[in-house]
Amino acid sequence: MIISALKSSDPKDLRSPIHPDTISALVNLGGDIFFEHGIGEGIFTSDKDFENLGLQSTSREECIANSDLVISNQPLSSDEVKSMKSGSTLLGMVNPFSNQELINCCAQSNINLVSMEFIPRITRAQKMDVLKLTGQPCWLFSSN
């Protein structure tokens, strides 16, 4: 299995869907983990820090085209979704109530879509709170 994490396409969004302190949850799955060059800039983490943990740095295009699971803070464009492998999964912020185009494109391309906005905002789910913009700027597998 190939898992890839993408940096935000919005230059104002400095969050990262992965963090060195919590990446072990993905590494322990045993697959290949890729990340888009520069994904840690907003959280003051270098590509080398992720590489030292066993991840591989690559381009956004390669992450999207080669992965079985793509993790993203921002919705992908239709062209990006169309370049994903059929049967792969897109996990992240997708703005589902106003992004019918992305939902339709995923359906037409046989892409599984998981919207992180639908994770309940309850105590048990705080580790995966995607709406938190203060504190640790990482939402996936957060340890706090």
* pLDDT for 142: 41
Q: What is the pLDDT of residue 4?
A: 96
Mean pLDDT of 13-27: 85
3-state secondary structure 17-83: CCCCCCCHHHHCCCCEEEEECCCCHHHCCCHHHHHHCCCEEECHHHHHHHCCEEEECCCCCHHHHHC
Average pLDDT over residues 23-38: 88
Angstrom CA distances, 100 to 53, 77, 78, 94, stand at 37, 12, 11, 10
User: To the nearest 10°, the Cα dihedral for 129, 92, 118, 24?
Assistant: -50
Q: What is the mean pLDDT of residues 15-40?
A: 88
- Going from N- to C-terminal start, the domains of the chain cover 2-128
Average of per-residue pLDDT across 117-121: 71
Rounded-to-integer distance, Cα 35 and Cα 18, Å: 9
Structure tokens that stand for 12 in this block: 């104002």
Please give the CATH number for the structural domain made up of 2-128: 3.40.50.720
Report d(CA 140, CA 26) in Å as an integer.
10
**Which residue type sits at 69?**
L
Q: Is the pLDDT at 138 greater than 50, yes or no?
A: no
Which carries the bigger pLDDT value, residue 61 or residue 42? 61
For the cut 60, the answer to whether the pLDDT of residue 102 exceeds it is yes
pLDDT digits (tens, 9 = 90+) for 31-50: 899 999 999 988 999 999 99
Q: What percent of the chain has pLDDT over 90?
A: 54
Average pLDDT over residues 78-98: 93
